Amino acid sequence: MRSEWLVWVGLFFALLSGGNSAAQVPDLYAPGRVIEVRIEINRPDWRDVLDSLKSEKIKDRIVADLWVDGVPYRQVGLRYKGNSSYNSVSRKGKEKLPFNIKIDHLLDEQALPGGYTKLKLSNVFRDPSFLREALAYEIAGNYMPAPRANYARVYINDDYYGLYNSTESVDERFLERYFGYGDGILFKCDPEYGAERPAHCPDVEERASLRYLGPDPACYHGLYELKSDSGWAELVDLARALHEQPDSIERLLNVDLALWMLAFDNCIVNLDSYLGEFCHNYYLYRDTFGQFHPIIWDMNMAFGGFRLDGLGNHLDLAGMQQLSMFIHYKQNNDDRPLITQLLRQDLYRKVYVAHIRTMLEEFFLSGRFEDRVRELHDQLQPLVAEDDSKLYSEAAFHQNLTQSTDADGVEIVGLLELMNGRVKYLSEHPLLQKQAPRIGRVGVAETESGEAFRFTAEAEGAERLWLMQRDGPFTNFSRFAMEPDSKGGGRWSLVLPVARDAQYYFIAEGKTHASLLPARASFEAFTLSEQLEKQ
């Protein structure tokens, strides 16, 4: 049991931090941070109860007390989480199971520093390297809204259960940070296998693929998990539009974010995603303007930890390293409409390739990825060594950095082994060998009337130049064609009435390629007021 004096110490520091305020404590999800989590459960049958709730698919919780870095949180709610990470590990009789902890389970105002009300602890299943989840989210967060992840040393009733991944929830707080408010429509796109649907529904595989299954919302039940109070009709509308009107899908879907997600999954060979066999592990959030935004989720099998490509193939090392940038699109696969319907549009396909090029150059060709892999590995080495509950050996932890490793009879490819070959394949791809259009100097100025602004840009090799603009940080981008200068010289301009807090970016479209400025757009964009001040 937890010593009473530590309880008072924890309470003292909680008061010093302003009631668990984030102002004076480190970010809970700072990259590479390792928190200490202590759980106290005052019932001897807690494992049996949690197993029973999980097996019966009941999301009730048992009550426990929690300490995070010495600060107490009373009467939290505890349950197991995960699918394979729970079932496979539990069947082998191992105790290192994944947990979902609800901080405000019985005390409504209780929260972790920063306002977090969930603590999701993963047991590093099928990842002998201990790096995949934290590393994948860290990279993704440079290009799209993505949960953050780091590590936790977990104790239960003073018994050490080992080193876990601690991953931020896709919840109201997360959604408010990226989309301005958090009470829109939210779906978790992860099928409940075996769920019953009406007999008149199409007989399709259980996938959260956004395939149109007809107008009856009941046909989509079990394929998606609704997290908000309503939203089935809106999901059906999205699937219908993707099927019937893909050329106008921007009104219902954040296309650029979808392209970033698909490019990211492809680049790092994350097949336990929309891309692979099970077509799952993402969220869909519909904002107040009626647009859905995909959000990545569940990265423990990123970087080749899962090998089924969704076309019936179990990929070997070469197959993963040389995974086509256009898998499913080349096969015209109706079971992956988010890929096939978007990449059929010339501009979207060019932007998708541009996103892969950006990630490749910034993280992999630069050497940044390998440096970060080795840095994290060295940081975790003593923590992995002391984890007697880890699912795989310490030798496997070291080996999986550079080469394939056995994990309970499944071969998990080495991180650098995979990505060195993957980067070589992508960088030598004919499309990425060709020069994309170049965007040079850009500018903006107020017109004489004061009612509009003139946007200007110089671009080399562009057949069209697009200005993507939105009225504020949480509204949706609209696309406008810029006009070429009659004198030539690769100069383009457009006069547009916009507010001073408007945001914008540019897309230079060539015959076969595109480039963006900023390169990480639409996740990063210029703000009109800031650009006016710089000039």
Cα–Cα distance between 87 and 93 in angstroms, integer?
Answer: 10
pLDDT over threshold 70, residue 101: yes
Using the structure block, give the residue that is written with the tokens 């259009």.
437
Cα–Cα distance between 372 and 416 in angstroms, integer?
Answer: 11
Cα–Cα distance between 160 and 386 in angstroms, integer?
Answer: 10
DSSP class of residue 365 equals: I
Instruction: Give the tokens for residue 172.
Output: 């109201």
pLDDT at position 146? 98
Contact (Cβ atoms closer than 8 angstroms) between residue 442 and residue 491: no
pLDDT at position 5? 39
Its sign, for the CA torsion 107, 109, 114, 118, is positive
Angle, vertex CA 219, rays to CA 207 and CA 290, nearest 5: 85
Report residue 449's pLDDT band, with 50, 70 and 90 as the boundaries. confident
Pick from 60, 95, 123: which residue ends a domain?
123
What is the average per-residue pLDDT within 423-449? Answer: 96
- On whether residue 21 sits in a domain, the answer given is yes
pLDDT at position 488? 82
Sheet of strand 282-286: strand arrangement = 225-226, 185-189, 282-286, 292-296
Give per-residue pLDDT as tens, 454-499: 999 999 999 999 999 999 899 999 999 999 998 888 999 999 999 9
What is the pairing mode between strands 34-40 and 149-156? parallel
% of the chain at pLDDT higher than 90: 92
- On whether residue 30 sits in a domain, the answer given is yes
Contact (Cβ atoms closer than 8 angstroms) between residue 197 and residue 205: no
- On whether residue 442 sits in a domain, the answer given is yes
Instruction: Give the tokens for residue 105.
Output: 């389970």
- On whether residue 40 sits in a domain, the answer given is yes
Instruction: Please spell the DSSP secondary structure of 404-421, one letter per residue.
Output: -EEETTEEE--HHHHHHH
- On whether residue 257 sits in a domain, the answer given is no
- On whether residue 110 sits in a domain, the answer given is yes
- On whether residue 364 sits in a domain, the answer given is no
Which domain range does residue 10 map to? 4-123
pLDDT over threshold 70, residue 103: yes
Report residue 13's pLDDT band, with 50, 70 and 90 as the boundaries. very low
Cα–Cα distance between 197 and 175 in angstroms, integer?
Answer: 30
Pick from 94, 123, 152: which residue ends a domain?
123
Pick from 123, 143, 159: which residue ends a domain?
123
Q: Name, in order, each residue with C-beta under 8 angstroms of 351's C-beta and a sequence gap of 6 or more.
A: 256, 259, 507, 514, 516
Rounded to two decimals, what is the model's pTM? Answer: 0.95
Q: Name, in order, each residue with C-beta under 8 angstroms of 141's C-beta and a sequence gap of 6 or more.
A: 148
3-state SS string over 232-249? HHHHHHHHHHHHHCHHHH
Report residue 313's pLDDT band, with 50, 70 and 90 as the boundaries. very high
CATH code, domain carrying 489: 2.60.40.10
Mean pLDDT computed over every residue of the chain: 94
Q: What is the count of structural domains for the chain?
A: 2
Among candidates 354, 324, 333, 379, which has minimal Cα distance to 31?
A: 379
Give per-residue pLDDT as tens, 225-280: 999 999 999 999 999 999 999 999 999 999 999 999 999 999 999 999 999 999 99
- On whether residue 265 sits in a domain, the answer given is no
